[in-house]
Amino acid sequence: MASSSSLVRPLCNQSQSPLLHWVADRRKAFISPLCNGGSATSKDGVAFEPCNEYYSSKNGSFSSFFGSKNVSFNINHKHPRLNRGVARSGQAMAVAVEPAREIMTKQKPPTKQRRVVVTGMGVVTPLGHDPDVFYNNLLEGASGISEIEAFDCAQFPTRIAGEIKSLSADGWIAPKLSKRMDKFMLYMLIAGKKALEDGGVTEDVMEELDKEKCGVLIGSAMGGMKVFNDAIEALRISYRKMNPFCVPFATTNMGSAMLAMDLGWMGPNYSISTACATSNFCILNAANHMIRGEADMMLCGGSDAAIIPIGLGGFVACKALSKRNGDPTKASRPWDVNRDGFVMGEGAGVLLLEELEHAKRRGATIYAEFLGGSFTCDAYHMTEPHPDGNKLDLYYYKSLHFCISYFRWQCHEDQART
């Protein structure tokens, strides 16, 4: 029908609309045998072939179809654009009456999917700055929550947090730079370099890497709050007192950028800020970059350092923090019926993700394999989960669907090898 409309539209501009009614009346004759030459037709008019008289017609005449030798299209010399439909009408009609062809689609074999593994880990936490120490403390039930010592918080109803009491940047970051940057960046750079060290990425290995295929995706929920807060306090005196790095060092992506500049990595580099889910988003996105072939190695995770007066005061104002100041080690109880809020913490956790074959070639230790994940939102509240727990099943379904698809591909690969 679209082809028919395009053919008759130029005729309408020439005020020949009566012809359309006449064509409609002749439709039945159009799909029936048209001449003695004998055209191939079907009862439903779906597919047929023009007759010999159609091919032998002259001057653009459609007499073979409409039964009259005097019906033809006149060429309009004043408006040549109106002749386009006339000039191509025979060609278009021939296409319209071509026999239907069966379309054969070839099923493509499953594409080989790149596999992602974990080859390094780095942490900076209240429970320790080494993955083994951190993990053993978790197994022993140790708590990193204690009274805040970084500033006087006597005026606040909450005076406890998971605070890092001490951390040395010696050997990890230049002293001049460590004094300028926010603590969230300090934690991120140290954890990132610890992950490289744990993954066996020495200087010799670093020289062998394709740095255009190495990226950093480490996020932060709050960013450089301390640097920005100090800049506001300095502005009360004069803008000349402000730290010239206060704006770039306050952005959440600057930690990933500084680490990439330090390492010379030129692959995907940005950060994600999605509150408590920041690190999970970064890990999943980093893995996806590698699955798509955009990177062979990625540092990913998260870092935050918001235990400062403005950070503590903000969470107190929205009544989100626990007030168990007398028993800080038992204040964090997310599944307890007597839970009275969460407890703030600080630190960084970074994973070194690597493409499987890339890791094998350099003889890396493989801790685990990344199978998949998903992104969802319960669209309910800024801080509270949905009371019915809806959308959790959607998250689990999407994640399991990804993993099942992966296992099906893996089974296909195994069968192809055998």
Average pLDDT on 358-364 reads 95
Q: Output the pLDDT for position 47.
A: 45
The candidate with the shortest Cα–Cα distance to 60, out of 49, 47, 73, is 73
Average pLDDT of the chain to the nearest whole number: 79
Q: What is the pTM of this model?
A: 0.69
Query: What is the per-residue pLDDT across 157-168, written as a single tens digit (0 to 9) for each?
Result: 999 999 999 999
Contact by Cβ (8 Å): 148, 312: yes
Query: What is the per-residue pLDDT across 317-344, written as a single tens digit (0 to 9) for each?
Result: 988 999 999 999 999 998 899 999 999 9
Q: If you search the block for the tokens 């190495």, which residue do you land on? A: 214
> Helix/strand/coil (H, E, C) string of 245-283?
CHHHHHCCCHHHHHHHHHHCCCCCECCCCCHHHHHHHHH
Evaluated on CA atoms 26, 28, 33, 36, the torsion sign reads: negative
Instruction: List the alpha helices (DSSP H) in 140-268.
Output: 175-180, 183-198, 203-208, 225-235, 246-250, 254-263
Q: Output the pLDDT for position 371.
A: 87
